[in-house]
Amino acid sequence: MAFHNPHIRVTVVDKDETRIRRWNSKHPPIYEPGLNEVLRIARDGARECVFQTGRGGDDSCASSAGVSSECTSLCEEHAEGFTTVPSRRPNLLFTTEVARCIAEADIVLIAVNTPTKTRGAGAGSATDMTAFEAVAAVVAEHARPGAIIVEKSTVPCRTAQLIEDMLAHYRPGVHFDVLSNPEFLAAGTAINDLLSADRILIGSRPTPSGRRAADTLASVYTSWVPRSRIITTNVFSSELAKLVANSMLAQRVSSINSVAAICEATGADIDEISAAVGADPRIGSKFLRAGIGFGGSCFKKDVLSLAYLAETLNLPQVAEYWRCVVSMNEYTRNRFAARVIKCLNNTLRGKKLTLLGYAFKKDTNDTRESATLEIIRTLMEEGPREIAVFDPCCNPATTEAEIEQLLGPAHGSQVLKKNGGVVHVYTNAYDACNGSDAVLVATEFDEFRYTGPGKHSKLSTTAYTAPLLLDPRPFERLEPTEADLLALHKYFARTGETIGSDDPLDRFNQAPLCASDCPDCLLKTNAGPNASNYGAGGEHQAKEYLDWAKISYHMRNPKWVFDGRGLLDIRGMEKLGFRVETTGRQAEF
């Protein structure tokens, strides 16, 4: 919103001072491809820049070559000149001053975590609304009269009524409008999902005031989203649509994983099944890749929330149907771990196992509901010598702390190897695999793929890869939009003399400086040159595809590899001396 609307001030508030400090530094608390480019412009502002209006030629000109004309599009005359983009002031702010910022806002968006309840009524299914209610109360207390209150969090159906009741309690007689505006984005592609949104959903009350509020919020999105992609519904439909969308995607994942189990028992190939089924246009090919199940903060939580809603509405058959989606997901993950143990002669004593990938999916450092964590839990019960973990996007210190916190109490003893346990988190894949009896590919990072003998080419360090590197110029309008400039930024970052540059248009202002004791800077320094970048403050710097021949040389026989994501060429890996087990295919040994 801030990136595409430089005239709007967007303030992000949070009580967590550490989180806000990181948002105001070179080390944002989350990794997401493309985030750095958007954040640097909106948070830090931008310098004036100049580039040739048409394609080709020398784009390094830094002179002030403004173009003035009565036309608003690029005619042939203007396509031959230069375009000057004026400087831009910062309009994205991060602060802990919650009450003050709420009181100043015309629109307040509530975007807090809504996990599954762990105790009390509905434990294990119902949505825990503790944080949401607390924030809603603060908003009700401080929001200015007439403010628009927007649900961004995924919430149970009819939550808007709860907010309206709280507003009426805290501010009787004061008018507010409550909207539902859920996000439809995925970790690892969130920025691209936002920049190229397939739809924006806004739910409101069917009143003149409610419709005006929806139009006001829609006007913010229309700066980059076509109006035809903005869907307006009643507020309860919007809330429920988010739950249903995630539940149906989760359903597809569980469905294809159930078929993968049949393939492993019959000799059919799950990839061939997926291709054949996905060719039917009524079904499509998306979310038909078998693996070790879905993870993340949304799918499981939202399926369970939908099941709980059905139970409260006295629809037990509906609830049972959706609970089967989660049951199949857990079965898939447990079946993979059991397959590993079985292939290793039903004992892990004295053996080292390596898990490649800790995040729940590639191109993110989000580890919530990660399948890897549950696999570690299962493997620990077998008493291995070591469980090695490597993830190119996850901060090793954070990963260690999370594993210790989540597995320590349940295990009843030390978890981390440095404290006498068995889990060790590495900063590079080769050290993690050195001396291993088995390697488990748990996350579908591209660098884990086997690309063939001698093919260890570097992966693109640009978050957005396109089949063709097309110059987006000339633009449709004389004054380029931020979307136009971002497209040009990506093009220059992959071509010509500016290839690999993080600021090919020379627009970025200096990023905030870190303190001398910044823990993120110290981690980067101490990790050394062979460590991954972990996405801290920028793009995930993928060095190159793994050299699986090198890994094979340093592994212990019989060199087991368990491909839980369908990344590896089995025949090619076998030629390197590996014994490969993969999801959805029958073992050939």
pLDDT, one tens digit per residue, over 191-240 is 999 999 999 999 999 999 999 999 999 999 999 999 999 999 999 999 99
Least confident of 47-61, 130-144, 279-293: 47-61
Assigned token pair, 497: 């003399």
Q: Write phi, then psi, for 84 (nearest 5 degrees).
A: -110, 125
What confidence category does residue 459 fall into, taking pLDDT thresholds of 50, 70 and 90?
A: low
Whether the pLDDT of residue 507 is over 80: the answer is yes
Q: How many residues does the chain have?
A: 589
Q: Which range has the worst mean pLDDT, 3-17, 212-226, 525-539? A: 525-539
In the DSSP assignment, the letter for residue 295 is -
CB 536 within 8 Å of CB 524: yes
And the tokens for 74? Answer: 């690029």
Strand order in the sheet with 352-356: 423-425, 386-390, 352-356, 438-441, 560-563, 579-582
* pLDDT, mean of residues 20-28: 92
List phi, psi (to 5°) of 201.
-110, 125
Give the tens place of pLDDT for each residue, 194-203. Answer: 999 999 999 9
Q: What does the angle CA 21 – CA 24 – CA 25 come to, to the nearest 5 degrees?
A: 90
Residues 6+ apart with CB under 8 A from 217: 107, 148, 150, 179, 181, 202
Q: Which of 333, 356, 391 is the last residue in one of the domains?
A: 333
DSSP H helices in 86-151: 98-104, 130-142
Cβ neighbours of residue 256 under 8 Å, at least 6 residues apart? 270, 274, 287, 288, 289, 290
377 and 324 share one domain: no
For residue 474, is it within any domain?
no
106 occurs within a structural domain? no
- Residue 203 parent element (H or E): strand 200-204
Residue 288 assigned as binding residue: yes
Phi, psi of 391 (to 5 degrees): -140, 125
Distance, in Å, from the CA atom of 74 to the CA atom of 91, rounded to the nearest integer, reads 28
**In the structure, what pLDDT confidence band is assigned to residue 539 with cuts at 50, 70 and 90?**
very low
* 295 marked as part of a ligand binding site: yes
Q: Is residue 512 part of a domain?
A: no
pLDDT value, residue 452: 73
Residue 537 in this model has a pLDDT that exceeds 50 = no
Q: What is the DSSP letter of 123?
A: T
What would the mean pLDDT of 327-342 be, rounded to a whole number?
A: 97
Q: Which of 450-459, 515-524, 537-546 has the lowest mean pLDDT?
A: 537-546
Q: How far is CA 136 from CA 103, 107, 108, 296, in A?
A: 13, 13, 10, 25
Q: Are residues 490 and 464 in contact, defined by beta-carbon separation less than 8 angstroms?
A: yes
Q: Are residues 225 and 251 in the same domain?
A: no
pLDDT given at position 344: 97
The count of domains in the chain is 3
On whether the CB atoms of residues 310 and 319 are closer than 8 A, the answer is yes
| The pLDDT of residue 533 is above 70 | no
Residue 393 and residue 252 in one domain: no
Boundary residue ending a domain (242, 269, 302)? 242
Q: State phi, psi for 566 to the nearest 5 degrees.
A: 65, 35
Q: Is 361 annotated as a binding residue?
A: yes
pLDDT value for 532: 54
53-77 pLDDT, tens digit per residue, is 887 654 444 433 344 444 555 555 5
Half-sphere CA count of 548, side-chain side, radius 13 A: 29
Per-residue pLDDT at 22: 92
Quick one: pLDDT at residue 440? Answer: 98
Question: In the 3-class helix/strand/coil scheme, how is 303-320 assigned residue by residue?
Answer: HHHHHHHHHHCCCHHHHH
Q: Write out the two tokens for 53.
A: 């209006």
The domain that contains 214 carries what CATH number?
3.40.50.720
**Is 289 annotated among the ligand-binding residues?**
yes
Residues 294 and 212 placed together within one structural domain of the fold: no
Task: Establish if 103 belongs to a structural domain.
Answer: no
Q: H-type helices in 313-389, by residue range?
A: 316-343, 371-380
Q: What percent of the chain has pLDDT over 90?
A: 77
Asked whether residue 77 is domain-assigned, the answer is no
d(CA 50, CA 109) in angstroms, rounded, equals: 36
- Same-domain check for residues 254 and 298: yes
Q: Is 379 annotated as a binding residue?
A: no
AA identity, residue 497:
E
Q: For residue 301, say whether it is annotated as part of any ligand binding site.
A: yes
Q: What is the DSSP string of 543-575?
A: -----HHHHHHTSPTT-EEEESSS-S-HHHHHH
> Which amino acid, 310?
A
Closest among 203, 271, 207 to 233, alpha carbons compared? 203
pLDDT tens readout for residues 384-438:
999 999 999 998 988 999 999 999 877 667 899 999 999 999 999 999 999 999 9
Residue 251 shares a structural domain with residue 213 = no
**575 annotated as belonging to a binding site for a ligand:** no
Among 418, 428, 350, 362, CA closest to 389: 428
In a domain, 367, yes or no: yes
Q: Is 458 annotated as a binding residue?
A: no
According to DSSP, the residues that pair with 100 across neighbouring strands are none
Closest CA to 534 of 193, 27, 192: 27
What is the Cα–Cα distance from 106 to 11, expressed in whole angstroms? 11
Q: Which of 242, 277, 294 is the last residue of a domain?
A: 242
Residues 261 and 356 in one domain: no
Q: Is the pLDDT of residue 320 over 80?
A: yes
In a shared domain, residues 248 and 225: no
Which range among 167-171, 354-358, 462-466, 477-481 shows the weakest confidence by mean pLDDT? 462-466
**Parent domain of 215:** 112-242
Residues 253, 187: one domain? no
What integer pLDDT is reported at residue 458 of this predicted model? 58
Q: Is residue 30 part of a domain?
A: no
The model carries a pTM of 0.89
Q: Is residue 336 part of an annotated ligand binding site?
A: no
Structural domain contains residue 495: no
Lowest mean pLDDT among 338-347, 362-371, 470-479: 470-479
> How far is the C-alpha of 441 from the C-alpha of 420, rounded, in Å?
25
CATH code for position 268: 1.10.1040.10
Per the CB < 8 A criterion, the answer to whether 411 and 534 are in contact is no
Question: What span, in angstroms and rounded, lies between the C-alpha atoms of 581 and 589?
Answer: 10
Are 219 and 117 part of one and the same domain?
yes
Quote the CA–CA distance of 243 and 182 in Å, as a whole number. Answer: 10
Active site positions, annotated: 298
Indicate if 455 and 383 belong to the same structural domain. yes
Question: What does the mean pLDDT of the chain come to?
Answer: 89
Given the structure tokens 């967007």, which residue do they identify?
Answer: 10
Cα–Cα distance for residue pair 219/205, rounded to 1 Å: 18
371 is in an annotated binding site: no
The answer to whether 290 is a known ligand-binding residue is: yes
222 carries a ligand binding annotation: no
CA distance 175 to 514: 44
* Closest CA relative to residue 130, chosen from 154, 114, 142: 114
Is residue 248 located within the same domain as residue 187? no
